[in-house]
Amino acid sequence: MNKNIVAKKQKSHKKKLIFFDADGTLWYPKRTKYNGRPWWIYFDDKTKDNPLVHLTLTPRVKTTLKKLKELGVQTVLIAQMPYPKYKANKLLTEKTKYFGIFKYFDQIRASHAGIRASEPDPKDIAILEVIKDRKIPKSKALLVGDSYKFDYLAAKNCGIDCLLIDSFKHTKEYSEYKRVKKRIKNIGELLDYV
């Protein structure tokens, strides 16, 4: 195939909008890292009152987000949280500021689901809303997450690609992970897809 055609074809696969999940994707517990469910930190008696100091950014987050900005790729933090949207957005904003990564996001969009949610707003619906608002074709969007259920299935439901971080090791969910083909070891590897 002609070189220009190959280059054009490759370019057409490049992503223009990347969704990032939060817990387990951008940050994780210092103690367990990728090796367990990341949200234990909000329930454990020793960590729940001050979870931020027990969290740290996952490898290569800052350099990757900075690179995406340079490439002109839009970035949206999208996390499903058990709080009303305004409170969840505020918490996510505070966390990204604490970690010094707020400036790298074009948008922060909390979603909200579960039996206690008075107005369910699951992640797949939130993704579709952002894609529509930003006028990005689904083929140009990608979700990076760590949960088979909340990230991989949400992306699949709305028809966008997903990269799953190899996480949740030593939990029974890990068997589901191993079925997913597009897995990465850390966020930095997503640069191969943009």
Q: Which residues are at the interface with Mg ion (CB under 5 A)?
A: 21, 23-24, 146-147
Residue 145 beta carbon to Mg ion: minimum distance, rounded to whole angstroms: 6
CB of 14 or CB of 80, closer to Mg ion: 80
Residue tagged 């909008």 (tokens): 17
Of 61, 126, 124, nearest to 96 by C-alpha is: 61
Q: What is the DSSP letter of 41?
A: G
The per-residue DSSP string of 2-13 comes to -HHHHHHHHHHT
Main-chain phi, psi angles of 72, to 5 degrees: 75, 20
Nearer to Mg ion by C-beta: 26 or 68? 26
Nearest approach, Cβ of residue 13 and Mg ion (Å): 26
Which lies closer to Mg ion via its Cβ, residue 23 or residue 124?
Answer: 23
Q: What are φ and ψ of residue 27, in 5° steps? A: -140, 160
Compare residues 15 and 123 and give the one whose CB is closer to Mg ion: 123
Q: How far is the CB of 70 from Mg ion (least distance, A)?
A: 26
DSSP state of 150: I
Q: Look up residue 21 and give its amino acid.
A: D
How many alpha carbons lie under 13 Å from residue 32 in its C-beta half-sphere?
Answer: 18
Question: What's the min distance (Å) between Cβ of 134 and Mg ion?
Answer: 22
Give dist(CA 44, CA 127) in Å, integer: 31
Between CA 163 and CA 148 the distance in angstroms is 10
Closest chain position to Mg ion (CB): 24
17 vs 38, beta carbon nearer Mg ion:
38
Minimum distance of Mg ion from residue 28's CB (angstroms) = 9
